[in-house]
Structure 1
């Protein structure tokens, strides 16, 4: 009896180097046809489960992804039997279809002489039995692991899943795409963002490919075999030259659905490629946007010794989608134009068109920052900091800066209603406010936040303090806004004094 050898476990890099082409000048080849196939295991220790995913094909199984989810303590014999049943079930369907064709039957049937005296049912069963693959797991030395060993110990990085002689190196907690989707509304000239949630993967390392579905009568003569995907319902054509998370829809995409593939990666390690298809087709945008006239005033990015600041209130979707906003605040606005899926495309295009170097944004939804602004603006050379409001959460402020001109020195978040109670530099304001209980309560109940970002100018080495806030909006709250503005100025002045002291401090 042979048990597991736990003396040494291959590192992920060693495993990749063993089964793939690697050198110091190139990363691992990303084409699935050239890349060594692997078996990916994901551990869920909270539920004591693990999932196994791998791509497999044989004479009777088209290239497809197989996945099983089993308990970590379950013997591998039980799990491998389940996997064998899954593969056999798929193979059986094709076997039975081909059995009805004379040529296919000749290829898979045993000779009549060898089966004399057997019934036709027995012949069929004998043929079907051959479809069951032999499945084992091997350790680092190539020794088959005993069937009573549990899944957690058997499915380890460096071990190999062997299916009828086809070897799949096992990788535990490999780069994984948890979720992927596309926007509901897509328009030409506007970026389409792939929304991706990853595990054990580094987004900048991931490789994307973009596809559009073909229309009736379209020819594929100009497309290589690898640039065409055919499924049951339609054919997809690769959009050449696109490999990033964002794709700018083109005029030729109008009327077509879009599909994106994401191949998750972390350094040289590659996970299972996953795709998403848009729920709608690409449309034409509004004939002309009002902001395009304003863009004519800012046609270029300023030289390195100058910078432009842009401030913009996005109108958070958490407010725009309420019935009060639709019927009272913005009753003059078509419902479609208030739809965030539509607005977000226009917002990003407008903000980028001002060619700013420092962007101060207010009413930024958490999701808008994470899934839209950060990935899209990062491709344009920006980095950003998000600053959520106080108790309400859901939205806040964001500052983006052009990395070629600025570097981040310091970032601070101040909830003004809290700072007035804590900061010594606000003691005189606090003393006055304490005398008016109504004023005190109203000021205390606000979640207004001040975002302070200290940036260093790359060329001059000088620092600038960027303060970004969204004061209390209520029409009868001008006195609250005045106090909030004054508190913000005081906090900014305090930070500037500290910066000056640091600069002129002599050790």
Structure 2
């Protein structure tokens, strides 16, 4: 308003008129403001006077139910050439496909956060998703979303929202997390390993009647980006390449390049699954289901499957409690309190997913597959827990399929896969391959040493990370025991006397440096073997304690003792470790009748002598300081329901792995390598001999 008295600066009078969709003026005297504006479609503004005589100064359109962008999020990491970016958008009154999208390439100066007014923004895309090209390298990217919704008068445009890929907040987080050299705004070259790229480029979509199946531990962000991990496990990895969304882009690219029908993933962050893996893998036609571990931490496992398969059922089996429903395992735990505790605190979940094929896409009558996705208990000193968990999963597969009226091998095939945290020679792999585990299995005796380890404390686990028995140590321990026990032994050895005899030779060994001899002597004095005859379990517990106290000289001591045993032995070594059955486990009947086999042929019978033999499998894990190569990830399938199972391609060989220094790396996002298998569905599935009784 103007000054009092209507001076020369008084505001001009105007007249407002609201008109409905028929163009007629609304009776404002009969309506409240809310009612009037909800019915109006135009607002006319007139100069003072009669609205019917004057032309309006303004004709303003009144929009109803205007579409709105509530939030817009994009990748919080550097974009990578060839890897699609899918904004996560929350909208009111419209869908992402209705919106107008614009992708802009920013000059390098702006992508580094030093924008100048004259910086150019070049349009490079008009779709919801955008895949960076070589032309984007070194430049930033911005996306603009204009929400649109249809109306009789034409599309209604809401207020645009824009966001730059790799936000300033993320830049601060990267610096805070020891990533000072990584700009979260500039597009990067595609760093995928050239060998993997070449091999995967040769893969084609599976033909009708065949299945491509993969298992892949994608490495949880909390395990990769922590101070402990970067200091002790992945010291060779530049911190910027440990960033969560850098690695998730690489994981998506790897999974999509495999052209899989079904993929089992482990160490999946729940938020990363929901916000990144699901929408980005959907671009390649994959949908997924998630199962959280039985802990408060929000991470677990996921199964993704292509459009050739439909989800019929899923269940997350709580392996920390389900053992209580099995009388034999419950009886064992009642005798051994540490077994009960270890089973209960493992946090392990088994994800069971029942899938049905489409007849049109698979070329057969509809077929069903039960996928068992596992990530077994990881502590190196707990092989017995992994063996029992494996047995529990086979029982739960039977129960799960039975609830749906299905018999494995006849009505449904089983794909049992995941990160076993166990080598091919392990009890878990042997159990799946042969169908049983003996009551006196060496891993039960070895597991008794787990009671001596404070495994519940995270700090204690990290402190002992380099001081636990690894697969090579276990093989060495077993090899030494069978040599000392001998072919005529009884499963008990006088370790104290043997070590005393070997010590003299070790101290006289000219090949050993004097400092090394002194360190070995000091180690054996600090952790001497118990006197008297020891069972394998007692002997193994001593070695566990020796490794924990003296990890730097342990391997040398074990090697020297084995060399002495080889020269001093008067009889042949025992064919295998003799160990009396641990009392607590004698009640357990660990067996299954699922007729499972690995594409690698673990524990196949040798046609010449009928003996079980294990077949070499490529390395699937390469990490640590220094990195160690292990085969921890496995795939098993139902014999008769599937045929011609084979590895789709070989993972990186040792030469290529050593060139990477260790995993993960800029080119490989996890410390594991994916195992990818091609299988064919049998035309007429048949039950193997173990099902004949049915």
Quickly name the TM-score band, shorter chain normalised: 0.5 to 0.7
Find the counterpart in structure 2 of residue 259 from structure 1. 142
Contact 2:106-2:141 at 8 Å conserved across structures: yes
The alpha-carbon deviation at position 416 of structure 1 amounts to: 1.6
Provide, for residues 112-163 of structure 1, a one-character-per-residue CA deviation record: whole Å limited to 9, x for no partner: xxxxxx9xxx87x56xx56x99778777885366799586x7775x555737
Residues 146/321 of structure 1: CA separation in 2 closer, same or farther (3 Å cut): farther
Residues 438/260 of structure 1: CA separation in 2 closer, same or farther (3 Å cut): same
The alpha-carbon deviation at position 232 of structure 1 amounts to: 5.6
Give the TM-score normalised by structure 1. Answer: 0.62
Residues 317/215 of structure 1: CA separation in 2 closer, same or farther (3 Å cut): closer
Find the counterpart in structure 2 of residue 487 from structure 1. 392
2:163 to 248, 258, 276: 276
The alpha-carbon deviation at position 398 of structure 1 amounts to: 1.0
Find the counterpart in structure 1 of residue 266 from structure 2. 362
CA–CA distance in structure 2, aligned partners of residues 320 and 252 of structure 1: 31
CA–CA distance in structure 2, aligned partners of residues 428 and 202 of structure 1: 55
Contact 1:178-1:196 at 8 Å conserved across structures: yes
The alpha-carbon deviation at position 212 of structure 1 amounts to: 1.6
Residues 326/199 of structure 1: CA separation in 2 closer, same or farther (3 Å cut): farther
Deviates more, 1:132-141 or 1:393-402: 132-141
1:248 to 131, 136, 143: 131
CA–CA distance in structure 2, aligned partners of residues 160 and 334 of structure 1: 59
Contact 1:139-1:145 at 8 Å conserved across structures: no
CA RMSD of aligned residues (A): 3.6
CA–CA distance in structure 1, aligned partners of residues 90 and 387 of structure 2: 42
Find the counterpart in structure 2 of residue 339 from structure 1. 243
Find the counterpart in structure 1 of residue 122 from structure 2. 237
Find the counterpart in structure 1 of residue 627 from structure 2. none
CA–CA distance in structure 1, aligned partners of residues 93 and 392 of structure 2: 43
CA–CA distance in structure 1, aligned partners of residues 383 and 295 of structure 2: 22
CA–CA distance in structure 1, aligned partners of residues 14 and 73 of structure 2: 32
Find the counterpart in structure 2 of residue 165 from structure 1. 59
Contact 1:318-1:394 at 8 Å conserved across structures: no
Greater Cα radius of gyration, structure 1 or 2:
2
1:197 aligned onto 2:90: yes
CA–CA distance in structure 1, aligned partners of residues 303 and 149 of structure 2: 28
Provide, for residues 63-108 of structure 1, a one-character-per-residue CA deviation record: whole Å limited to 9, x for no partner: xxxxxxxxxxxxxxxxxx9xxxxxxxxxxxxxxxxxxxxxxxxxxx
Find the counterpart in structure 2 of residue 457 from structure 1. 357
Deviates more, 1:408-417 or 1:272-281: 272-281
Alignment of 1:326-475 (within 5 A): 326-403=230-307, 405-421=308-324, 423=325, 426-459=326-359, 460=364, 461-475=366-380
2:222 to 318, 327, 330: 318
CA–CA distance in structure 2, aligned partners of residues 330 and 458 of structure 1: 44
Contact 1:213-1:257 at 8 Å conserved across structures: yes
SS at match of 2:197: helix
Contact 1:138-1:145 at 8 Å conserved across structures: no
CA–CA distance in structure 2, aligned partners of residues 155 and 316 of structure 1: 53
Contact 1:155-1:170 at 8 Å conserved across structures: no
CA–CA distance in structure 1, aligned partners of residues 27 and 120 of structure 2: 42
1:213 to 83, 106, 117: 106
CA–CA distance in structure 2, aligned partners of residues 464 and 500 of structure 1: 13
Contact 2:42-2:59 at 8 Å conserved across structures: no
1:496 to 369, 392, 401: 401
Contact 2:318-2:348 at 8 Å conserved across structures: yes
Provide, for residues 428-482 of structure 1, a one-character-per-residue CA deviation record: whole Å limited to 9, x for no partner: 3233223322221221123222111111111220111111121121222222222
Alignment of 1:19-98 (within 5 A): none
CA–CA distance in structure 2, aligned partners of residues 289 and 147 of structure 1: 75
CA–CA distance in structure 2, aligned partners of residues 263 and 492 of structure 1: 49
Residues 255/501 of structure 1: CA separation in 2 closer, same or farther (3 Å cut): closer
Residues 309/205 of structure 1: CA separation in 2 closer, same or farther (3 Å cut): farther
List gaps (5 residues or longer) in structure 1.
Answer: 1-80, 82-117, 217-230
CA–CA distance in structure 2, aligned partners of residues 256 and 364 of structure 1: 30
CA–CA distance in structure 1, aligned partners of residues 94 and 253 of structure 2: 29
Residues 283/416 of structure 1: CA separation in 2 closer, same or farther (3 Å cut): same
Contact 1:183-1:193 at 8 Å conserved across structures: no
Contact 1:180-1:276 at 8 Å conserved across structures: yes
List gaps (5 residues or longer) in structure 2.
Answer: 45-57, 110-115, 168-184, 412-694
CA–CA distance in structure 1, aligned partners of residues 193 and 349 of structure 2: 35
Contact 2:108-2:140 at 8 Å conserved across structures: no
Residues 435/204 of structure 1: CA separation in 2 closer, same or farther (3 Å cut): farther
Alignment of 1:2-17 (within 5 A): none
Residues 134/289 of structure 1: CA separation in 2 closer, same or farther (3 Å cut): farther
Residues 357/429 of structure 1: CA separation in 2 closer, same or farther (3 Å cut): same
Residues 232/484 of structure 1: CA separation in 2 closer, same or farther (3 Å cut): same
CA–CA distance in structure 2, aligned partners of residues 259 and 490 of structure 1: 52
Residues 372/439 of structure 1: CA separation in 2 closer, same or farther (3 Å cut): same
1:286 to 168, 191, 199: 191
SS at match of 2:211: coil
The alpha-carbon deviation at position 401 of structure 1 amounts to: 0.7
The alpha-carbon deviation at position 214 of structure 1 amounts to: 5.6
Residues 433/237 of structure 1: CA separation in 2 closer, same or farther (3 Å cut): same
Contact 1:183-1:194 at 8 Å conserved across structures: no
SS at match of 2:339: helix
Contact 2:225-2:239 at 8 Å conserved across structures: no
Give the TM-score normalised by structure 2. Answer: 0.46
Residues 286/263 of structure 1: CA separation in 2 closer, same or farther (3 Å cut): same
Contact 1:177-1:264 at 8 Å conserved across structures: no
Contact 2:214-2:263 at 8 Å conserved across structures: yes
Provide, for residues 265-318 of structure 1, a one-character-per-residue CA deviation record: whole Å limited to 9, x for no partner: 67878654322123412232338455324425x521111211100111111112
